[in-house]
Structure 1
Amino acid sequence: MTPRTPEPEAPIVENIEDIDVSSEMQGSFLEYAYSVIYSRALPDARDGMKPVQRRILFQMSEMGLRPDRGHVKSARVVGEVMGKLHPHGDASIYDAMVRLAQSWTLRLPLIDGHGNFGSLDDGPAASRYTEARLAPAALLMTDGLDEDVVDFVPNYDNQLTQPDVLPAAYPNLLVNGASGIAVGMATNMAPHNLIEVVSGARYLITHPDATVDDLMSFIPGPDLPGGGTIVGLAGIRDAYTTGRGAFKTRAKVSVETLTARKVGLVVTELPYLVGAEKVISKIKDGVNSKKLQGISDVTDLTDRTNGLRLVIGIKTGFSPEAVLEQLYKLTPLEDSFNINNVALVGGQPQTLGLRELLQVYIDHRIEVTTRRTQFRLAKRRDRLHLVLGLLIAILDIDEVIQVIRNSDDTEQARVRLIDVFDLDALQADYILELRLRRLTKFSRIELEAERDQLRREIEQLEALLASKALIRQTVSEELDDVADKLGTPRRTMLTEARAAAPAAARGSSLPSLELADTPCRVFLSTTGRALRVDLPNDGEQAPDAAAHARRSKHDAVRSTVLTTTRTEIGAVTNLGRVIRMSVLDLPSAPSASIQLAAGVRISDYLTVDAKRERVVALVSLTSGTPIALGTKQGVVKRVTPGDWPNKPDFELITLKPGDEVVGAEQAPESSNLVFVASDAQLLHYPAASVRPQGRLAGGMAGMSLSGGATVIAFSAVIPRAGAEDDSGADADGEAGIVVATVAGSSGVLPGTDTGSAKVSSFSEFPSKGRATGGVRAHRFVKGEDSLQLAWVGPAPALAVAADGAVRALPDAGAKRDASGTPLAAAVGSIGFTVSLS
């Protein structure tokens, strides 16, 4: 055979395209920056989620990992998320998942982790060792996804879909905060308290023109998961206004006696994301380099039962307060947090203030509620349509069976049913699929009941869609339900106290404690605000604060204590508990111009249960004068002073079930103890008739109450000698003691009935014996059956509304058992005016 000549090879055609390197780099960088900003680093302002976090919660929801079911391996969750929704490395997915489970990172964790999910000083175990499931808060983030409340978008390979945003039943971005570094921008947002954020959102729903100051009355500042103290509120206000600001956080430190001859600083709360090992390391470095003085040792006694407890021993001869100031300057016991509220709004990164953050979330929830209502309405209309067709079939069931039996096939039966009974295709198909067991009389009754129920629900849903006000009200009520289910008391205290100065330069000596232990007076307003007023130095003339203070909001005083700036005082609560508080950390005001509105809410400063507990008085813990207490059930007690437990809080009285403290005050032997009951009875007798008891005693009978009556006011007063005129002032010009009462109807909601008020001289009321019923202090007129408020103290009495605004009271001088004068506006509380005397 002749060999075949090989064919010549085709010539290679080269296609080389010249490109501009700078243009290519610019385009590639922009694509990279876009991907980082929108798909990785910045959260969406609506649900507060980054894409990876949103995908984790959605996939865990699809896997059925509810709180009432068992945990599964974290590696399985990571694999599901990576394979279906997030085509990136498993390490990034697991890191995001771990953060969602850490209680010291998020104020409201979204994942319930089982196993080693790390700590502030150590990383977590590998995903093959840990297990996870959704936390209750995560269910509220994903609730309603099956009701078409948000848009779904394709996943990375267009085979599955994922939500573009979560429904988010609460403002997750504000509650849990966020942090991330994108290209050319970053975000750093602080966590907040759920109850406060919900209150602010609900206020903005009902008051769309609310200002930042209005919202800050509900959201005073961040609430960090680890507690601690925020020092200085100016930076918070800047952040809430402009989206950028900074504040200092301090550890919660107390001075305790460790042994008979040794005291120490006990740290129980640290600044946000600061671990105990980091603090210990910095303290050791400072001691070794001679920068920190007076520290003998550092011991970490932290355990799972008692939580964080870091004990810093103080050498003999050193002031614990001075050492603490050094620690604030040179260690992470004081740290800074820079707020940068950058989030995605409509797909664009924006810097948002507090009002804008809440408004974006409210708009999102309004859209979710509207779409959910439309979905439910369509479902009920479709169901009603089928029920009506089924009722037609049951009423003429014999004829329906005859039509079906006479039909050759299913299609002919469908057509004949439509023609004979005037049905549509859906109803005819539903009837053809009907089971014989549904033909009973009972099934007909059930269908008729379902028809009526569906019509009522359709009417309600149509009314909801037709009213924007009802939609907003629904959003507000649902937020309130979430706060009731998941809300917890505030952990972080807020104070205007100054932060520590910057650390001294290397080699220079640290200054000694600069702030002297000067005299001051602490005021507690009737609306719950506390303020410290530094008094003039010896020899200076004290100004008349009552004359100089402008009558502004919250200036009615409930209680006051004369003390010094470095002395602890006690806050007595209605649960009979005394909480120690440092006067130094309270905001101060000059004695020439006192405005209690500038104070802090004492409930934010102290660790109290906001729903059950409130502060009723301030007392001195160093005075030798007994503390008198009166309770709602008429019990009186004088507590022997001194020898208080060396604990942050302690019990002052053993209360009976259902009882609570109404008032507390230092009561010397010369004072009178005064009870006022809701049935308008007033009783007073000498304090000397009540012998002082131990701290845990239950007190003794103080006032005999008629059926259904309770004590609404208790105080200890020292009547001034001399006759009093009608204004309540002594003849020599000194302020006298007056009794102010406000009567109304017990069946009316608080704040809706203005009632009537009366101010009488205390000298009008005769003294009676302990445990008696007292004398009438206010005569009820038609429509009145109880006293709403009562107050006994120095004239003139000052009344304020629930929001702290000043309200007018009648002139003093009314007879003790006279009826009151109608008020022009509702009164929320009564107290005395600010005075340094």
Structure 2
Amino acid sequence: MAFSVPETQKEQMSPADRTLPADIVERIEDVDVSAEMQGSYLEYAYSVIYARALPDARDGLKPVQRRILYMMSEMGLRPDRGHVKSARVTGEVMGKLHPHGDGAIYDALVRMAQDFTLRVPLIDGHGNFGSLDDGPAAARYTEARLAPVSLEMTADIDEDTVDFEPNYDSSQQEPAVLPSAIPNLLVNGASGIAVGMATNMAPHNLIEVVGAAKHLLENPDASLDDLMAYVPGPDLPGGGTIVGLAGIREAYETGRGSFRTRAKVRVEPITARKNGLTITELPYLVGPEKVIEKIKDGVNSKKLQGISDVTDLSDRQHGLRLVIGIKTGFNPEAVLEQLYKFTPLEDGFSINNVALVDGGPQTLGLRDLLRVYLDHRIEVVTRRSRFRLARRQERLHLVEGLLIAILDIDEVIQVIRTSEDSAEASGRLQSVFDLSQLQAEYILELRLRRLTKFSRIELETERDQLQAEIAELEAILASPARIRAVVADELDDVAERFGTPRRTLLTEAKASIASTGSKKATFTGPALEIADSPAIVYLSTTGRTVRVDLPEGAAAPAVAPRRSKHDAVLSSLVTTTRAEIGAVTNRGRLIRFSPVDLPVVPLNSIHLAAGARIAEYLGGLGKGERVLGIVSLAADAAPIALGTAQGVVKRVVPGNWPNRPDFEIIGLKAGDEVVGVAHAADDRELVFTASDAQLLHFSAAAVRPQGAAAGGMAGINLGKNAKVIGFFVVDPAAENVVVTVSVPLETLPGTDPGRGKVSAFGEFPGKGRATGGVRAHAFLKGEGMLSLAWVGPQPARAVASDGAARQLPETLAKRDGSGTPLDSVVTSVGTAVGAEAAVVAATAGAAELREESDPEALF
């Protein structure tokens, strides 16, 4: 705003200012400082919020991350090509798209390459990209290229799938958002500090997020509980254990919440007489050096007791491995509780799901995050389909013109030869052959070598293919359901190619005292220890395990009439909270573990669905290895009986176990595996069920106990091509039943429910060991094998692969009957909670527990 300078002000000017041109002097104006500061600060805040710190809810990227991926894609840095210097990438991004410091660009590139920061890294880095404790090397020393998953982030970007906008100097165009075929924001999380707001989002498992997205795509009114059935909680890159799920649900509902994470720690012998704590996974973004430093500080300040040394045995081959030595006479579990309180072995994570939606920051719950992403993918697929349809229609138009020209090529040549110039030739071709201008121009550019019979066949084939593709694209664009199906199929594809199993264990167990009270308080010793009280450990047929603590004088859990998910009991054991027990796998391996960190459920309401997955709780299971049962390791426990697929039986005398965290409990032959395990005193019956419907049972006393290294003895004489599908230990005095399910031979597993039968176990006569047994099921035409067989106390509980309850025939049938058709597929059968009392009580060593409380209270 121009104005005249008052004479009084001119008098105050210096002689040099008085000589300035009048137009310059007249541009001086008075401005209110507070208003100027307010306006400038708002502009700065706007820039930070929208152009730096917050991710877009659609592709989950901040502008600098999006520009890095787009520029690397433009540079051709694909996964199948060599790495280039990170400094080159940083320079290209800074010079063309991101007019900020190279340090910020390189930091963003490094973060996208760190597998301990992102659940699915987007950059394939070569060189020192840092660790949890150290920063990366300089950009001139490292190299980078796109990770395979990043190709899905930028896929189809050249097919008008997203909008482009000018860069900072309008010399180039950059995408406002990437197509993002993976739900990147939920999978990799985000963190950033803007002005007046911040975001902190946890990483998740790609397979689980895709499952929830597909469910919401098919069921737009799906509830939060429905979505959490697919996404139960975050899946952190470094694994660990999330303790307590209430805060996670709050975050999924409101966008804000918190949870606590623990390191994965197990107690194992360091030497023959010394135990230690082995840490193989740490909380999110906690480094081993930080943990070691805190432990040393705690020992020096006398806050931590019972620790003799800390050794970092981490390497590239075995990954993280911290070993904490425990002094003689100290309880490792109590020391671990100290570590949870005073060190980062237990840490908190605050969720604040703030992201940009339609250009503005919003706090989003799980359902909102999925909905924004799905809307984006639906728009991408729609725009891509329109683009492809237009391109194919244009090509079909030209192909049809070429076919007309080839059919009348002599006349076409005559028209062209008799024309004065190309413009006249084009006009005459349009009028003579009823062609468009595009077709005529294309024909004029036709090369003579295309005038062959083979070229005509090629063009007709291309025309037919284009017509089919056009029809398909028009059908997709005309149907919102087809578009959603395309989105779902593409999500399935990325989940299959890039998805990995869950790394982080979720448990409802209570957090340690670290989450309540001050960390400055002094550890009081025994007060931190978990009481070693009587408890029952349950393992469901679907692999979930819980602990039920038994107060003094507690009564046995009753057989609940309710049916809920995962309520079929595979194995149960009376033990103590801090006792060491064993899990036996199908590979014949016994893995030691303690139930101290298992999810605890109340005695009067036992829900196995609340349990932890035993494979995740134990860790270290091989491919195809599964847990078949839990056993006591006490020297006074009853012998452990095992049956194998090749019909071998063995009883192992407890005690004198190898001093290792896991060891072989049976010597298996090549191709053999364990199919069942349980404690078996001499008064129990051992039961084999074979795939050819033969059932054999004999007294456990007929099997002489052996040591852990022995290979067992003959249990059942199998028929040709038959194998054992079930091995059980039952109390002959109890009311036991036999459940069998047969399926047609030519059906795929899990597709035909088949025919099921429930018979009284008393109808099956006992035979001697190493005999063939008796028939347990009559096959109908087309049948020839049992898909499932189970023997145990009533009532039998049947479940599907997802743990849902399934119905069995209610009436007892003859032992050699053919059964009745089932309503749905049954994948496993077990006992009901409380019905296994006779089997559990058979475990010797439980006597001492019963004597400590009520002699007749437990069972």
Q: Same fold (TM over 0.5)?
A: yes
Note if contact 1:504-1:510 (Cα within 8 Å) is conserved in structure 2.
Answer: no
1: CA distance between counterparts of 2:291 and 2:670? Answer: 44
1: CA distance between counterparts of 2:673 and 2:286? Answer: 39
Note if contact 1:494-1:604 (Cα within 8 Å) is conserved in structure 2.
Answer: no
The Cα of 1:14 is off from its aligned counterpart by 3.0
The Cα of 1:570 is off from its aligned counterpart by 3.2
Distance 1:196-1:64 versus aligned 2 partners, 3 A rule: same
Distance 1:362-1:410 versus aligned 2 partners, 3 A rule: same
2: CA distance between counterparts of 1:600 and 1:662? Answer: 22
Note if contact 1:545-1:593 (Cα within 8 Å) is conserved in structure 2.
Answer: no
**Of 689, 705, 710, the match for 1:676:** 689
Per the alignment, residue 727 of structure 1 pairs with: none
Note if contact 2:685-2:729 (Cα within 8 Å) is conserved in structure 1.
Answer: yes
Amino acid across the alignment from 1:675: F
Per the alignment, residue 510 of structure 1 pairs with: 524
Per the alignment, residue 168 of structure 2 pairs with: 156
Per-residue displacement from partner, 1:614-658 (whole Å, max 9, x unpaired)? 433333344654444444555555556455555555555566777
Note if contact 1:489-1:610 (Cα within 8 Å) is conserved in structure 2.
Answer: no
Note if contact 2:745-2:782 (Cα within 8 Å) is conserved in structure 1.
Answer: no
2:589 aligned with 1:590? no
My pick for the range that moved more, 700-709 or 476-485, is 700-709
Per the alignment, residue 367 of structure 2 pairs with: 355
Note if contact 1:683-1:703 (Cα within 8 Å) is conserved in structure 2.
Answer: yes
The Cα of 1:510 is off from its aligned counterpart by 2.4
2:448 aligned with 1:448? no
Per-residue displacement from partner, 1:292-341 (whole Å, max 9, x unpaired)? 11222222222222222222222222222221111111111111111111
**Of 675, 684, 699, the match for 1:662:** 675
Note if contact 1:491-1:607 (Cα within 8 Å) is conserved in structure 2.
Answer: no
Amino acid across the alignment from 2:808: L
Aligned residues: 813
Secondary structure of the equivalent of 2:178?
coil
The Cα of 1:594 is off from its aligned counterpart by 1.7
Note if contact 1:256-1:646 (Cα within 8 Å) is conserved in structure 2.
Answer: no
Note if contact 1:761-1:812 (Cα within 8 Å) is conserved in structure 2.
Answer: no
Give the TM-score normalised by structure 2. Answer: 0.89
The Cα of 1:799 is off from its aligned counterpart by 2.5
2:32 aligned with 1:23? no
The Cα of 1:747 is off from its aligned counterpart by 4.6
Per the alignment, residue 796 of structure 1 pairs with: 795
Amino acid across the alignment from 2:698: Y
Note if contact 1:489-1:608 (Cα within 8 Å) is conserved in structure 2.
Answer: no
Runs of 5+ unmatched residues, structure 2: 1-18, 838-858
My pick for the range that moved more, 216-225 or 172-181, is 216-225
Per the alignment, residue 424 of structure 2 pairs with: 412
Distance 1:480-1:662 versus aligned 2 partners, 3 A rule: farther
Secondary structure of the equivalent of 1:146?
coil
Per the alignment, residue 237 of structure 1 pairs with: 249
2: CA distance between counterparts of 1:651 and 1:363? Answer: 53
Amino acid across the alignment from 2:541: T
**Of 529, 533, 550, the match for 1:535:** 550
Distance 1:603-1:59 versus aligned 2 partners, 3 A rule: same
The Cα of 1:693 is off from its aligned counterpart by 6.0
Per the alignment, residue 469 of structure 2 pairs with: 457
The Cα of 1:248 is off from its aligned counterpart by 1.1
1: CA distance between counterparts of 2:593 and 2:800? Answer: 27
Distance 1:146-1:507 versus aligned 2 partners, 3 A rule: closer
Note if contact 1:572-1:618 (Cα within 8 Å) is conserved in structure 2.
Answer: yes
2: CA distance between counterparts of 1:67 and 1:692? Answer: 58
Per-residue displacement from partner, 1:215-239 (whole Å, max 9, x unpaired)? 2222221111111111111111211
Q: How does 1:104-123 map to 2 (within 5 A)?
A: 104-123=116-135
2: CA distance between counterparts of 1:830 and 1:371? Answer: 50
Note if contact 2:166-2:174 (Cα within 8 Å) is conserved in structure 1.
Answer: yes
Secondary structure of the equivalent of 1:192?
coil
Per the alignment, residue 745 of structure 1 pairs with: 744
Note if contact 2:557-2:833 (Cα within 8 Å) is conserved in structure 1.
Answer: no
1: CA distance between counterparts of 2:809 and 2:71? Answer: 66
Secondary structure of the equivalent of 2:149?
helix
1: CA distance between counterparts of 2:471 and 2:670? Answer: 47
Amino acid across the alignment from 1:767: G
The Cα of 1:506 is off from its aligned counterpart by 5.1
Per the alignment, residue 347 of structure 2 pairs with: 335
Per-residue displacement from partner, 1:733-769 (whole Å, max 9, x unpaired)? xx41110223343555666645443211112112335
Distance 1:507-1:242 versus aligned 2 partners, 3 A rule: closer
The Cα of 1:246 is off from its aligned counterpart by 1.0
Per the alignment, residue 761 of structure 1 pairs with: 760
Amino acid across the alignment from 1:821: T
Q: Percent identity?
A: 71
Per the alignment, residue 519 of structure 1 pairs with: 534
The Cα of 1:422 is off from its aligned counterpart by 1.7
Amino acid across the alignment from 2:381: T
The Cα of 1:92 is off from its aligned counterpart by 0.4
2:185 aligned with 1:173? yes
Secondary structure of the equivalent of 1:136?
coil
Secondary structure of the equivalent of 2:559?
helix
1: CA distance between counterparts of 2:473 and 2:128? Answer: 47
**Cα RMSD, aligned residues only:** 2.8
Per the alignment, residue 483 of structure 1 pairs with: 495
Note if contact 1:41-1:181 (Cα within 8 Å) is conserved in structure 2.
Answer: yes
2: CA distance between counterparts of 1:521 and 1:91? Answer: 56
2: CA distance between counterparts of 1:438 and 1:649? Answer: 73
Amino acid across the alignment from 1:765: F
Per the alignment, residue 214 of structure 1 pairs with: 226
2:440 aligned with 1:428? yes
The Cα of 1:161 is off from its aligned counterpart by 1.0
My pick for the range that moved more, 101-110 or 288-297, is 288-297
1: CA distance between counterparts of 2:572 and 2:20? Answer: 104
Give the TM-score normalised by structure 1. Answer: 0.91
Runs of 5+ unmatched residues, structure 1: 1-7, 721-734
Secondary structure of the equivalent of 1:571?
strand
2: CA distance between counterparts of 1:231 and 1:393? Answer: 74
Amino acid across the alignment from 2:232: P
Distance 1:366-1:808 versus aligned 2 partners, 3 A rule: same
2:832 aligned with 1:833? yes
Secondary structure of the equivalent of 2:727?
strand
Distance 1:275-1:818 versus aligned 2 partners, 3 A rule: same
Distance 1:115-1:10 versus aligned 2 partners, 3 A rule: closer
Secondary structure of the equivalent of 2:513?
coil
The Cα of 1:787 is off from its aligned counterpart by 3.3
Note if contact 1:536-1:542 (Cα within 8 Å) is conserved in structure 2.
Answer: no
The Cα of 1:610 is off from its aligned counterpart by 10
Amino acid across the alignment from 1:265: L
Note if contact 1:42-1:187 (Cα within 8 Å) is conserved in structure 2.
Answer: yes
The Cα of 1:85 is off from its aligned counterpart by 0.6
Amino acid across the alignment from 1:264: G
The Cα of 1:783 is off from its aligned counterpart by 7.0
Per-residue displacement from partner, 1:516-539 (whole Å, max 9, x unpaired)? 1111111122333221111232xx
2: CA distance between counterparts of 1:172 and 1:9? Answer: 59
My pick for the range that moved more, 604-613 or 388-397, is 604-613
Per the alignment, residue 507 of structure 2 pairs with: 495
The Cα of 1:379 is off from its aligned counterpart by 2.1
Per-residue displacement from partner, 1:752-794 (whole Å, max 9, x unpaired)? 6454432111121123355554332223446755434321101
**Of 35, 44, 48, the match for 1:32:** 44
Note if contact 1:73-1:130 (Cα within 8 Å) is conserved in structure 2.
Answer: yes
Note if contact 2:272-2:659 (Cα within 8 Å) is conserved in structure 1.
Answer: no
Q: How does 1:84-483 map to 2 (within 5 A)?
A: 84-483=96-495
Secondary structure of the equivalent of 2:739?
strand
Note if contact 2:268-2:278 (Cα within 8 Å) is conserved in structure 1.
Answer: yes
2: CA distance between counterparts of 1:653 and 1:432? Answer: 82
